[in-house]
Structure 1
Amino acid sequence: MKTERIDLYGEGEYTYPVKGSFRPFVMAYRHEDKASHRPLIVVPGGAYRIVSPTEGEIVAKAFYEDGFDTFVLVYTCNLLFDHPLLTQAEDDLARAAALFPEPVSVIGFSAGGHLAASCAVHGKASFRGMVLGYPVITMGDATHADTRRALLGAAPSEEQVRYFSLETQVTDDTPPCFLWYTKTDEAVPPGNSELFASAMRAKNRPVEVLSFPRGIHGMSLANAVWADSDPYPGMYAATQQMEDVSWCIVRKKPLPERYESLNPAKDIASEFQRLQVLRNKRHHADPLVASWEKQASRFLLSL
């Protein structure tokens, strides 16, 4: 396996007001043989506030084992709710997709699912197919509040709400989609997935839906790698968030609720790793839910 970081913006091209030196990038996991391997972009979730390590490298490596060359997108987020993202994350993903001469497939989770589908329905990138895991779809009543606020701010216009309510944006050219979710998801209402599936069917677009009777939000691979890894792999996904938290510490500002238990006197990277492992101790692998990965892989390879 060959790994490589690929920056998505050149000097002076990135204008989103970050707190440090962050620039969006992809982390590549490529095969080193001479065979042809389809590219797959992995888009972790995190409410557009963070890029979750739990849906990044471990997912990329699973699909790598299925024969894909995989690329984890570390995109712009709005942890502190101070600069609504609007189309910034879309632009990040579009740049990642433009790295490839042929249409690329994409897989996104939660808010990352919203980002993947948003880029697809708005024609920002040409995707061969997409996989959406427990995605946020609507900005309406069934949305995830933090996702909407980070993306659109506290008082979005009706036009903005409609543009980012993706059930209203499906077209005759929207790529084939594999959707999966759990019926007991208490963070992102499962109706989000069904809204998108219905919109796809209304346009006669190919869509497969896989629902599981139980499972929390954010189950990623739902296997032991997801639940039990220590140390947790792929913490590079949290690059921007580490800079945001460091900015808060230096200026003696309150830490975001997710990081309130962080020890500001210690190394930020090691503290992020510690907190990630602690969070994951609440997780349990579920072989039934874990079956989604092979089914999604077969779906993408069939396109």
Structure 2
Amino acid sequence: MMAPGTPAAVGKRGVMDRRTFVAATAALAGGAFPGCARTQPFRPRHRGAGHDDDRPAPPSGLAIWPGPPPGGGGPTGREHVSASGAVTRVAIPRLTVLRPARPNGAAMLIAAGGGYRRIEVQKEAMPAAGWLASIGVTAFVLTYRLPPEDWAAGSLAPFQDAGRAIRTMRGQAGHLGIDPRRIGVLGFSSGGHLLGMQTACAERLDYAPVDALDRESGRPDLTMLVYPIVTLEPPYQHTSSRRVLIGDHPTPVESARWSVQTHVHSGLAPFFLAQAADDPVSNPQNTAILQAACESAGVRVERHLFPTGGHGFGLGAPGTQTVEWPAMAESWMRRERFV
């Protein structure tokens, strides 16, 4: 199990400092699979009258595979966490669980971006987990396999992890203290592509079933994508995501197959989209294309395009309107009766 952080290491918004994050990540990555798979039974934290400490419980770890991931392979050596908290050399895909002080039963799977070459866990995922915990949502941060790191599954590796993560959350909902009918996803940048594809292709299983968890639904009940990569088709194909997943010279069929909008159909979870108009990485047409696909398929969608903010603003770039998106998302989740 992931080494728990101390209560003092988690601020009121639930953001771990880098030292705690590195220690927790290293502990899980270095542990055996059976140890990673065990989690403590969920027990709500009851607080006495007048107690104003709303900090979440220390983060814990949850493996998503009972053994090596499908196909095997992967990086050698220890997992690496950069000075900014970006993760590479992921040998054990997993979930980091941040439980609210006052859980409401809703759960959110979070995937940070990084162009499928790294995972910006500390910059994007952990602040988002802290925000969600502050409104009662149990957050599950996904550390997923990276295709360039020699996995036999290749480009399918992170998608296998995302689907398995949702099935694990749903299959262990009672143990985790979450509602299996209120499992949402939140993706940033390439993490938005990952979870957008998972939303649109939720019941696809890209590996031989491992255990009973693979009989669970991989469908999220709600999807939030922030400055996501949506399409890998021209003229918006100049991204690391496209190069990593399908190479420099994909066929039109490949480009379409790996684009989220291609797979949007009726019956999907509702979408919340947020992006800045001056995004230099993910052209704002990405969210416009997804919005149009949702509207055409009769899928509920809400899109917010902010004048400035660039790319990679996480919970919002100071001095720009992007700082408003978490409050907008909370209001939207309440309208969707998710929280």
For the superposition of Structure 1 and Structure 2, which TM-score range results when normalised by the shorter chain?
0.7 to 0.9
Contact (CA 8 Å) 2:75, 2:149: kept in 1 or not? no
- Equivalents in 2 of 1:100, 1:80: separation in Å? 26
Contact (CA 8 Å) 1:14, 1:23: kept in 2 or not? no
Q: Secondary structure at the match of 1:180?
A: strand
Letter in 1 for 2:326: E
Letter in 2 for 1:51: I
Match of 2:273 among 167, 179, 186: 179
The answer to whether the aligner puts 1:136 opposite 2:229 as a matched pair is: yes
- Equivalents in 2 of 1:293, 1:88: separation in Å? 30
What per-residue deviation string (whole Å, max 9, x for no partner) do you get for residues 96-124 of structure 1?
Answer: 11123314100101111001110011124
CA displacement at 1:81 relative to structure 2: 8.9
Equivalent position of 1:245 in the other structure: none
Cα 1:213–1:16 change in 2 (3 A) is farther
Equivalent position of 2:196 in the other structure: 117
Unaligned runs of 5+ in 2: 1-55, 78-90, 171-179, 204-217
Letter in 2 for 1:108: G
Equivalent position of 2:162 in the other structure: 93
Equivalent position of 2:47 in the other structure: none
- Equivalents in 2 of 1:175, 1:208: separation in Å? 12
Equivalent position of 2:299 in the other structure: 205
Cα 1:154–1:10 change in 2 (3 A) is farther
Equivalent position of 1:23 in the other structure: 92
Equivalent position of 2:290 in the other structure: 196
- Equivalents in 2 of 1:81, 1:202: separation in Å? 39
The answer to whether the aligner puts 1:298 opposite 2:331 as a matched pair is: yes
Cα 1:287–1:155 change in 2 (3 A) is closer
Contact (CA 8 Å) 1:79, 1:150: kept in 2 or not? yes
What per-residue deviation string (whole Å, max 9, x for no partner) do you get for residues 178-205 of structure 1?
Answer: 0010000111111111000000011111
Q: How many residues align?
A: 241
Tell me whether 24-33 or 209-218 shows the greater mean CA deviation. 24-33
The answer to whether the aligner puts 1:289 opposite 2:311 as a matched pair is: no
Equivalent position of 1:244 in the other structure: none
Aligned Cα RMSD in Å? Answer: 2.1
Letter in 2 for 1:211: L
CA displacement at 1:143 relative to structure 2: 2.6
CA displacement at 1:302 relative to structure 2: 2.6
Equivalent position of 2:130 in the other structure: 61
Q: Secondary structure at the match of 2:221?
A: strand
Letter in 2 for 1:288: Q
Match of 1:7 among 63, 66, 74: 63
CA displacement at 1:138 relative to structure 2: 0.7
Give the TM-score normalised by the residue count of structure 2. 0.66
What per-residue deviation string (whole Å, max 9, x for no partner) do you get for residues 62-111 of structure 1?
Answer: 11101100011111113569978432211101111112331410010111
Contact (CA 8 Å) 1:42, 1:106: kept in 2 or not? yes
**Counterparts of 1:226-237 in structure 2 under 5 Å?**
none
Contact (CA 8 Å) 2:307, 2:321: kept in 1 or not? no
Q: Secondary structure at the match of 1:100?
A: helix
Contact (CA 8 Å) 1:84, 1:151: kept in 2 or not? no
Contact (CA 8 Å) 1:179, 1:209: kept in 2 or not? yes
- Equivalents in 2 of 1:15, 1:154: separation in Å? 25
**Counterparts of 1:241-280 in structure 2 under 5 Å?**
none
Equivalent position of 1:167 in the other structure: 261
Cα 1:144–1:155 change in 2 (3 A) is closer
What per-residue deviation string (whole Å, max 9, x for no partner) do you get for residues 191-239 of structure 1?
Answer: 111000000011111000101011111101125xxxxxxxxxxxxxxxx
CA displacement at 1:18 relative to structure 2: 1.5
Runs of 4+ in 1 over 4 A off after TM superposition: 79-84
- Equivalents in 1 of 2:63, 2:166: separation in Å? 13
Tell me whether 4-13 or 152-161 shows the greater mean CA deviation. 152-161
Equivalent position of 1:215 in the other structure: 309
The answer to whether the aligner puts 1:44 opposite 2:137 as a matched pair is: no
**Larger RCO (CA under 8 A, 6+ residues apart):** 1
